[in-house]
Amino acid sequence: MKWITRFAPFLRRCAMGWVFSLSIAAASEAPRELVFLTWSDYIDPAVVAAFETHRGVRVKQVYFESDDDRDEILAENGPRGYDVILADGISVSNYARQGWLARIRDGDVPNRRHIEPRWRDAFPLTAEHGVPYFWGTIGIAYRRDLVPTPFSSWRQLFEPDEALRGKIVMIKHARDVIGMALKSLGHSQNSADPTAIAAAGELIRKQQPFVKAYSYVAITQESALVSGEIWAAMVFNGDAIMLREHNPNIAFVVPEEGSNLGVDYLTVSATTEAPDLAYAFIDFVTEPQNAAKIAEFVHYATPNTAARAHLSAEYFADPIIFPDAATLERCEFFTDLPAAASRQRNAVFQSVTQRVQKP
């Protein structure tokens, strides 16, 4: 047994080497991970699974509950920890100015060539830092079997019938709520006039007793709008279609005063450690057939012109997805506001929403 004693150090070094080699092998076999910051239920799981198989990676989705929530998440550590970030047009502009987003060139995402220029260039810096994902509107989803009168205007939501007391949910976002209050008063949603903003603030203060919560209404079978606990809610048009699938008594309208025309973009974090995966993921979901599958899943309008050949006639015939030209004419994009106007809006909104507890 002396030979074992003599060669023990050598054997220990070999064993350590084998363990180290096995550790490296195990690490190399672990799939790479792409972290995607996004809304929940905003991509077809089958397309995500196909990308994971295609690239041999894992996609981890991290969800935010509102645009403000996403802002707060990123304000803590910037975009660190995320590879792909979904954001609305105004936020893309703001994030790019803060250096949080990487540039996206045509060679990075070849399928971007299928995107209609109108949506690519809708906001400052989006052409350089984002790939349009979907566009849509905000409107009113309501239970037509419960409300006294069908909705046709924002004014009906902000000055509701007494029967709707405690039966309304409003989006928890100052820009959307103040913006639509302004439109109901005959102003642009982008008005920076202090008097107009104050009048909009007074309107939502009067509405406050009728509001059950300031949040995003659930779009599942358990939604309060499906059960009838809530009779009306400010929602995005694609969400209204998902709600309608759970209860055919749920109707949706883009009010006669018009609405916001929003665009969501896929962006790449400036701090990503996997830029190749981030660009590849965006290119994969922008591939026409994949973009069409996602569009049918989320019920929003795709800005991808080549995807249209793969979409059903029912998709294009749905007026909730594609409002008519007259309705779109009354809609507008949000624009950057002067700092004073933004502060005034936020102060007004916070003074109202902090009095309402989320159910």
pLDDT at 112: 97
Question: Chain-wide mean pLDDT for the chain?
Answer: 91
At 199, list the tokens: 């009048």
Mean pLDDT of 138-154: 97
- 3 or 196, higher pLDDT: 196
What lies within 8 Å, CB to CB, of 229 at 6+ separation is 167, 212
Residue 306 near residue 327 (C-beta atoms within 8 A): no
pLDDT > 80? residue 76: yes
Amino acid symbol at 270: A
Q: Give the chain's count of helices (H) and strands (E).
A: 16, 9
The span from the CA of 113 to the CA of 117, in Å, is: 9
* Greatest C-alpha distance within the chain: 97
What's the pLDDT at 125?
96
239-251 tens-digit pLDDT: 999 999 999 999 9
| Residue pair 311/297 in contact by the 8 Å Cβ criterion | no
Percent over 90 (pLDDT), the chain: 84
The whole-number pLDDT of residue 3 equals 37
CA distance 235 to 139: 6
What are 162's two structure tokens? 């007494």
Q: What is the pLDDT of residues 308-319, one digit of tens each?
A: 999 999 999 999
* Band of residue 29 on the pLDDT scale cut at 50, 70, 90: low
Taking the C-alpha atoms of residue 116 and residue 111, their distance in angstroms, rounded to an integer, is 12
Helix spans in 134-230 (H)? 154-158, 174-184, 194-207, 224-227
Contacts of 85 (CB under 8 A, 6+ apart): 36, 37, 38, 70, 74, 79, 95, 100, 101, 266, 267, 268, 269
What pLDDT, on a 0 to 100 scale, did the predictor assign at position 30? 78
Q: Could you tell me the pLDDT band of residue 151, with boundaries at 50, 70 and 90?
A: very high
| Distance from C-alpha of 332 to C-alpha of 334, rounded to nearest angstrom | 7
Provide the pLDDT for residue 285: 98
Burial of 148 (0-12, 13-18, 19+ CB in 10 A): exposed
Helical segments of the chain, H only? 2-29, 45-55, 67-77, 89-97, 117-120, 126-129, 154-158, 174-184, 194-207, 224-227, 237-246, 275-286, 288-298, 313-317, 325-329, 339-353
- Alpha-carbon Rg for the chain, nearest whole angstrom, is 24
Contact call for residues 135 and 300 (beta carbons, < 8 A): yes
* Residue 210 and residue 160 in contact, taking contact as beta carbons nearer than 8 Å: yes
| For residue 35, pLDDT beyond 50 | yes
**Higher-pLDDT residue of 166, 3:** 166
What is the model's pLDDT at position 31? 86
Report how far residue 288's alpha carbon sits from residue 130's, in angstroms, rounded to the nearest whole number.
Answer: 17
Return the DSSP state at 323.
-
Whether 38 has a pLDDT exceeding 50, the answer reads: yes
For residue 318, report the phi and psi dihedrals to the nearest 5 degrees.
-80, 115
Lowest-confidence range among 1-5, 97-101, 222-226? Answer: 1-5
